Chain A
């Protein structure tokens, strides 16, 4: 065999393995995101039925804390406790430093722009968002404002006096690089019936 063909063979094998490896890593992220929501759905039902600390899988360091739904888009997602990178791989994460709905302060939920929170780009002003807590209480919100925040310049502001909901994801939506300073921040206000003044 000619040396050039040997080199090409090695090249093909390497390129193919790289392709397979990267494809599986990419697919794994999406798969994990989808599968985790299934498992979470189950632990959510358990939590609603009164289980105290229903972990979605035995080694989980987080748990289902509420359910987020957007009726207009047919979206239902289980929100996890905490917003660390590991948690966000499985579902949108509730930032522990913010307030739970009904406690009078701002609630913050963040999610990955390319998995769970991809739908944020389809939301419009006036759209409804519903949060359901494990005790079955429902809180509905209306989207009032959307803005792009620069993490280098600003930090997330939590108002003590409003029961607002803030959804955060990376921005812009359709770029490839996974890191960037911009965040898309949607601010929703509680609907009056359930308002938390």
Chain B
């Protein structure tokens, strides 16, 4: 087990009082020894940084396990080919990377790819020598059986741990010396409109790597001289090879090719690559972008700005799968500066003053609230409700935001103190007890750390009582319950802001309020062709700077979608014709939206087993990783006589220009290492048993439900208290003795 050493090393042997004694017994010898020890520790640290940490990996890499736990040696990358197809807000990214094991050992490696947020790998193919491993979406139960069956049969199995959110990792065993590994993954990423522009980023930055002194790795791990691939000459010519990234650090031999087809769905004002020189070809509203580059220290990023009119624009994409049509409708709001804040609002602030908020959290909450009060307009109405074990309101009903009322409010906020329990239900009831005054838009801003257990009850309450209002949650503190906060905002058709640091309060709250002051489109209504299934079911108010996305399953491939609503007091509507819509990969996006909605139904109390069945069905059909399905890597190497060629699916490996590559690494064009994937037995358990050598690896990804949390504070001041007590006591004794001496003298 890799971690064995680390666990031992982590455990300090010295106990509390022994440590105190150190100071007493510190002798000159130790004074010399301690710096030496410290020095040797820093040396060890430096040596360890010779290798990479999973967390350091900033682009797709294959890394080998080493003797140092948690440290990896990056494999030499031969090529990277990326294909992206962007239709509107959906981007399908396919990535093919090839690596080589330049070591002289059979080894196990880990493929790591930092995924963008909100993306999940749905297809995986690995070719290691003549082994072919395919990722399959399976039901959890089945995935477990597949894994257990292979394990029991004595095959080498490996489970992969997820190192950080949205880091795709999968392990590859039994890599022969000099062998090439080709890895293909594919994922769908949903793009969002931010500051009026769309952007798409692909991780290319070179992982900071430091080339190990040979001592650390041992000659047996990297043997530059004797690799069977003919590259050893490089090392001979470079005297300080140890300071160079293994082999392909020489940029010209490790090319990256990116090809993008961009169909934004609307005319563009601007399309640019932020860090790289790209070739752009335009064909009406469609663009193709090409990049051939060498590794650099920058990620690849393109961004494009829609040409915006003064009214929200709409874009539609459709896809037909097995005769079923799906559509994705996007509503783009007009530019911020053209909008006058015309709607008078009724703002209700709910602030959590329970015991769990005590300390910094309370300070952050009060700061945010004060900031919010300052931004109120004289036309607005407002009220504040604080709650702990009980809920208290500032005014019996919301009041005008005039100077007098605001002064009272500030006073009220100043006096708030954190104590008691967290009873949210009465607070929400109090906040929503009165009807919204006519002509006002009600916005509820809920500032809390979300330490609640009765989430489901609260979601139900929010949904039932909120009506046309919007709920915005502001999460406070180091370890807020982000699931509750996000979900509550979703049920409340608002959004969610997370403030982890006092320093962020101003900026984040300002952003939120800027948005709240400018609702663009309210009372959004949809008219769809008969028999359509749309998500989200209720269209929220459209706020400035955020587009609304509708995923629709259509009964027939054509028809009209009509969106209407109120904008600046006037009725506004727009129709889009589905027949003319562009093609895009929107079915999976629809499936994801539906799964989200099914999960919500479960929160509302729907039957668990029915929901599970529905989600599993959808996930298997649309190839999605969910709570009930996993992506499992299954060895599908076809059992074949050596002389028999394979029906090939083309898997060309990009050979760097001007570079000769050993035949073994090259994929011969005719009959080759490629495989017919269709010809393989469909039963994963069966094929697992049939083919050797076997590699099983479970791929851990990354549904939406993976989260990262802040760490709670987990130490008390007891030791400090006791130490201070001890010192004061000793001081008292010293004084006592001194006093005695004085007295005796006297």
A and B bind: yes
Q: Which residues of A contact B (CB under 8 A)?
A: 2, 4-5, 8-9, 11-12, 15-16, 18-23, 25-27, 29-30, 59-61, 63, 65, 81-89, 93, 95-98, 104-105, 108, 110-115, 117, 121, 124-125, 144-149, 151, 153-162, 168-180, 183-184, 195, 197
B449, B703, B723, B736: which contacts A12 (Cβ < 8 A)? Answer: B736
A60, A148, A153: which contacts B10 (Cβ < 8 A)? Answer: A148
The CA of A39 and the CA of B10, in the complex, are separated in Å by: 34
The CA of A97 and the CA of B14, in the complex, are separated in Å by: 35
Interface residue B15 (Cβ < 8 Å from any Cβ of A): yes
- Minimum distance in angstroms from B533 CB to a CB of chain A: 26
Closest partner residue, chain B, to A97 (CB atom): B481
Interface residue B178 (Cβ < 8 Å from any Cβ of A): no
The CA of A161 and the CA of B708, in the complex, are separated in Å by: 14
- Minimum distance in angstroms from A81 CB to a CB of chain B: 5
The CA of A23 and the CA of B703, in the complex, are separated in Å by: 49
The CA of A174 and the CA of B11, in the complex, are separated in Å by: 10
A25-B481 contact given A61-B422, A156-B711, A178-B715, CB 8 Å threshold: no
B70-96 with Cβ < 8 A to chain A: 70
The CA of A179 and the CA of B449, in the complex, are separated in Å by: 21
Residues in A whose Cβ lies below 8 Å from that of B147: 197
Interface residue B408 (Cβ < 8 Å from any Cβ of A): no
**B451 and A26 within 8 A (CB):** no
Q: Could you give 26 example pairs across A and B, Cβ below 8 Å?
A: A12-B732, A15-B728, A15-B729, A25-B721, A59-B421, A61-B355, A63-B453, A84-B357, A84-B479, A85-B359, A85-B713, A95-B479, A112-B715, A115-B718, A125-B7, A145-B161, A147-B3, A155-B711, A159-B162, A159-B706, A168-B711, A172-B12, A174-B15, A174-B16, A176-B720, A197-B630
B17-35 with Cβ < 8 A to chain A: 19
Pick from B399-407, B544-552, B737-745 the stretch touching chain A.
B737-745
Residues in A whose Cβ lies below 8 Å from that of B743: 5
Closest partner residue, chain A, to B700 (CB atom): A161
**A112 and B714 within 8 A (CB):** yes
**A81 and B716 within 8 A (CB):** no
The CA of A175 and the CA of B479, in the complex, are separated in Å by: 24
**B729 and A16 within 8 A (CB):** yes
**Would you list the 5 A-B pairs with minimal beta carbon distance, nearest first?**
A26-B721, A84-B356, A61-B421, A22-B725, A15-B732
Q: Which residues of B contact A (CB under 8 A)?
A: 1, 3-4, 6-7, 10-12, 14-16, 19, 55, 70, 140-141, 143-144, 147, 161-165, 354-359, 388-389, 420-422, 449-453, 479-484, 625, 627, 630, 700-726, 728-729, 731-732, 735-736, 738-739, 742-743, 746
**A83 and B739 within 8 A (CB):** no
The CA of A153 and the CA of B56, in the complex, are separated in Å by: 11
The CA of A175 and the CA of B4, in the complex, are separated in Å by: 24
Residues in A whose Cβ lies below 8 Å from that of B4: 125
**A12 and B450 within 8 A (CB):** no
A20, A112, A156: which contacts B716 (Cβ < 8 A)? Answer: A112
- Minimum distance in angstroms from B629 CB to a CB of chain A: 9
Residues in A whose Cβ lies below 8 Å from that of B70: 147
- Minimum distance in angstroms from B75 CB to a CB of chain A: 24
**B705 and A105 within 8 A (CB):** yes
Closest partner residue, chain B, to A147 (CB atom): B6
The CA of A104 and the CA of B139, in the complex, are separated in Å by: 13
Residues in B whose Cβ lies below 8 Å from that of A111: 714
A29, A84, A197: which contacts B451 (Cβ < 8 A)? Answer: A84
A23-B421 contact given A156-B709, A180-B715, CB 8 Å threshold: no
**B355 and A146 within 8 A (CB):** no
The CA of A112 and the CA of B717, in the complex, are separated in Å by: 10
The CA of A179 and the CA of B672, in the complex, are separated in Å by: 60
**A19 and B479 within 8 A (CB):** no
Closest partner residue, chain A, to B485 (CB atom): A97
**A177 and B720 within 8 A (CB):** yes
Residues in A whose Cβ lies below 8 Å from that of B702: 160
**B716 and A89 within 8 A (CB):** yes
**B144 and A197 within 8 A (CB):** yes
A161-B728 contact given A61-B421, A169-B714, A174-B15, CB 8 Å threshold: no
A22, A108, A172: which contacts B709 (Cβ < 8 A)? Answer: A108
Residues in B whose Cβ lies below 8 Å from that of A177: 720
Residues in A whose Cβ lies below 8 Å from that of B140: 104, 197
Residues in B whose Cβ lies below 8 Å from that of A173: 12
The CA of A56 and the CA of B211, in the complex, are separated in Å by: 57
Residues in A whose Cβ lies below 8 Å from that of B738: 8
The CA of A81 and the CA of B355, in the complex, are separated in Å by: 13
The CA of A195 and the CA of B453, in the complex, are separated in Å by: 25
A115-B711 contact given A61-B421, A97-B481, A154-B55, CB 8 Å threshold: no
The CA of A21 and the CA of B709, in the complex, are separated in Å by: 36
Most buried by A among B627, B702, B713: B713
- Minimum distance in angstroms from B722 CB to a CB of chain A: 4
| Apart from A61-B355, A88-B713: 5 A-B pairs, beta carbons within 8 A | A9-B739, A12-B732, A61-B422, A86-B358, A178-B719
Residues in A whose Cβ lies below 8 Å from that of B143: 197
B144, B355, B715, B719: which contacts A84 (Cβ < 8 A)? Answer: B355
Closest partner residue, chain B, to A25 (CB atom): B721
Closest partner residue, chain A, to B705 (CB atom): A160
Residues in B whose Cβ lies below 8 Å from that of A115: 716, 718
- Minimum distance in angstroms from A120 CB to a CB of chain B: 9
- Minimum distance in angstroms from B692 CB to a CB of chain A: 24
B165, B451, B481: which contacts A157 (Cβ < 8 A)? Answer: B165
The CA of A161 and the CA of B169, in the complex, are separated in Å by: 13
**B15 and A183 within 8 A (CB):** no
